Chains A and B, each alone.
Chain A
Amino acid sequence: MRPVRLATACVALLLSLAACGGTDQAAGSSAEKSLILATTTSTQDSGLLDELLPAFTADTGWQVKPLAVGSGQAIELGRRGEADVLLVHSPAAEEEFVAEGTAGPRRLVMHNDFVLVGPSADPAGIRGVPATEAMRKIATTQAGFVSRGDESGTHAREEQLWDQNRIVPSGQWYRATGQGMGATLRVASETSAYTLTDRATYLSQKGNLDLEVLNEGDQALLNIYHVIEMTKRAGDGVQPDGAKAFADWITGPRAQDLIGEFGASAGGARLFVPDAGKDESALGN
């Protein structure tokens, strides 16, 4: 009879688990106003979204489904009308996208910066030189560079830096992971290579990495986030009112305060600088 009792216990455990999942789920889906935010992995991996979204829901009643993908995919989801609002950091691609006419207003939200990280021995000698020169040195010494290779905002910035040097990176020293920033940082750390990263993700994972910030502070390394509202022109399913509510909120005083305090409250460095309403060309000066 022993197995009988054990089996009954197992079944009871599983049923109770499934049942409590059922109530959770019903509570989650009962909200009617729900919008889709397509954003970048950096906002999720750094933990910023966990801070912002509950406050947004409390203030406006809108539930948010955040899809953390690369900026390239986020823009594509917007273009197809599969997302209501975008929070992205790929300015050149964004401007092109807005010019297509399916997007609504695009507003400045915040910035942080990219940094070049690598092994502390710095074999290519990129400390203290301008960012474009640092990239050229990495390429000419073939010191090893790990790229996101995923059309993300970070990847776009990396390509821009290569372009300015008229370098088309290829060869053994240049690897593309096709993955998010966290995974790419780990590959760079394990292979003692350089990589370009946003500062927030690097700081949040620094403890697990054998990488140091070697090059920072150049104007060319500014990482600027915009919010883009989508319109019905992108697709019938788009909810422009939800998009506007989110864009208004994240550029409003409450969210801007939260962004400015994010990271600092945990005793760490400030990870993002709130910029709503500022002149974009004056950033970083």
Chain B
Amino acid sequence: MDVLGDGLLEALRLLVTGDEDTWAITALTLQVSLSATVVAFLLGAPVGTALALGRFRGRRVLLAIANTGMGLPPVVVGLFVTVLLWRAGPLGAFGLLYTPTAMVIAQAAIAVPVVTALTATALQQVDPDFLLQMRGLGATRLRALGALLAEARLPLLAAAMAGFGAVVSEVGAAQMVGGNLAGETRVLTTAAVLATSRGQFALAIAFGLVLLGLAFVVNLAVTLAQHRRQVAR
């Protein structure tokens, strides 16, 4: 049990003393996972909206696929992206493997189904007559859609947060496409795995706690920003 206590102390020590490596790893984690979340939101939110509101063949199958994709194992995504980015692979010419960009690609692939499925669920829950009413009141299609998205903004935010939570905590894809290179692609999760395999358990737990703190600060920022907007109205 003392490993847990040591881990907590170690985490505090690393943060308070401004350990350069820890801050760099934390910054990279944030950068990669936030970028991946933004990419996933830009791709997933429109698709989710189309799936929720569209009336086209295959819609339900696509919804089922998105829902299944929420459980995509990061290792499988990582392997897939790795093979694509290999020197001899179809995208090998770009030389992206073992770079943060590759990690963003893999993590975005993990988060897209999450954002898509949760966006679709969120918009389906808005009163189905809402769009009709808006149109009836003379709103253009675009403005009606805008009003719908504003109505559903909290669940949409939740979709983005769920995507962020999925990628910031995963280790399989980050390890495989990033390679856990010191100072280049080492993020909090892969650093924790390395520390564990080196038998540095307190350090590993410290990285875990820093990760937890990071996720908390991001969520707090978004929640408070949301709250402020509501207060401002």
Please report A residues at the B interface, Cβ cutoff 8 Å. 3-4, 6-7, 10-11, 13-14, 17-18, 20-22, 24-25, 28-29, 36, 41, 44-45, 47, 50, 65-68, 80-82, 180-183, 204-205, 207-208, 235-238
Can you give 17 A-B contacts (C-beta < 8 A)?
Answer: A4-B224, A7-B220, A10-B224, A11-B221, A17-B27, A20-B24, A24-B24, A24-B27, A28-B184, A36-B98, A41-B197, A66-B179, A67-B98, A82-B86, A183-B197, A204-B199, A237-B88
**B28 at interface by CB-CB < 8 Å:** yes
Interface residues of B, dominant DSSP: helix
Partner pick for A29 among B88, B184, B225, CB 8 A cutoff: B184
Provide the residues of chain A in CB contact with B30, threshold 8 Å: 14, 17-18, 21
Known: A67-B179, A237-B87. A14 touches B221 (CB 8 A): yes
In the assembled complex, B57 has its CB within 8 A of some CB on chain A: no
Q: Which residues of B contact A180 (CB under 8 A)?
A: 197
A-B complex: 4 closest residue pairs judged by Cβ atoms: A21-B27, A237-B87, A7-B224, A10-B221
Render B86-116 as a binary contact track against A, CB cut-off 8 A, 1 for contact.
1110001000001110000000000000000
- Whether A29 contacts B227 by the Cβ 8 Å rule is no
Query: What residue in chain A is nearest B184 (Cβ atoms)?
Result: A28
- Min CB distance, B8 to chain A, in Å? 18
- Name 7 extra pairs, CB < 8 A, besides A6-B220, A11-B221, A182-B196: A3-B227, A7-B221, A28-B184, A45-B198, A65-B184, A183-B196, A238-B87
B228 adjacent to A7 (CB under 8 Å): yes
Query: Given A17-B26, A182-B198, do A235 and B88 touch, yes or no (CB 8 Å)?
Result: yes
Contacts of B40 in A (CB 8 A): none
Give the B interface residue count (CB, 8 A).
Answer: 36
Taking the complex as formed, is B67 at the interface, i.e. its CB lies under 8 A from any CB of chain A?
Answer: no
Q: Which residues of B contact A237 (CB under 8 A)?
A: 87-88, 92
- Chain A positions within 8 Å of B201 at CB level: 208
Min Cβ gap B218→A in Å is 7
A214 and B180 CA atoms in complex are apart in Å by 34
Contact A236 B87 (CB under 8 A): yes
- Chain A-chain B contacts (Cβ-Cβ < 8 Å), number: 103
Q: With A and B bound together, what is the CA distance between A45 and B30 in angstroms?
A: 26
B65 close to A (CB within 8 Å): no
Does B31 sit within 8 A of A, measured CB to CB? yes
- Determine how close the nearest CB of chain A comes to the CB of B85; give it in whole angstroms: 10
A17-B213 Cα distance, complex, nearest whole Å = 13
- Evaluate contact between A204 and B220: CB separation under 8 angstroms: no
Which residues of the partner chain B approach A65 to less than 8 Å between Cβ atoms?
98, 179, 181, 184
Bound Cα distance A6, B196 (Å): 35
Q: A17-B30, A65-B184 are in contact. Are A205 and B179 (CB under 8 A)?
A: no
Instruction: Judge whether A20 and B197 touch: CB under 8 Å.
Output: no
Q: Which residues of B contact A181 (CB under 8 A)?
A: 197
Contact, CB under 8 Å: B26 / A45: no
Q: Which A residues lie within 8 Å of B182 (CB)?
A: 50
**Contact between B99 and A29 (Cβ–Cβ < 8 Å)?**
yes
Tell me the nearest residue of chain B to A53, going by C-beta. B182
Establish whether residues B197 and A80, one from each chain, have CB atoms under 8 Å apart when the complex forms.
Answer: no
Q: Which of B27, B86, B88, B99 contacts A18 (CB 8 A)?
A: B27
Contact A21 to B31, CB < 8 A, known contacts A65-B98, A65-B184, A67-B179: yes
Q: Are A204 and B217 in contact (CB under 8 A)?
A: no
Question: Does residue B23 face the partner (Cβ distance < 8 Å to A)?
Answer: yes
A residues in contact with B196, CB < 8 Å: 182-183
A25, B100: Cβ atoms under 8 Å? Answer: yes
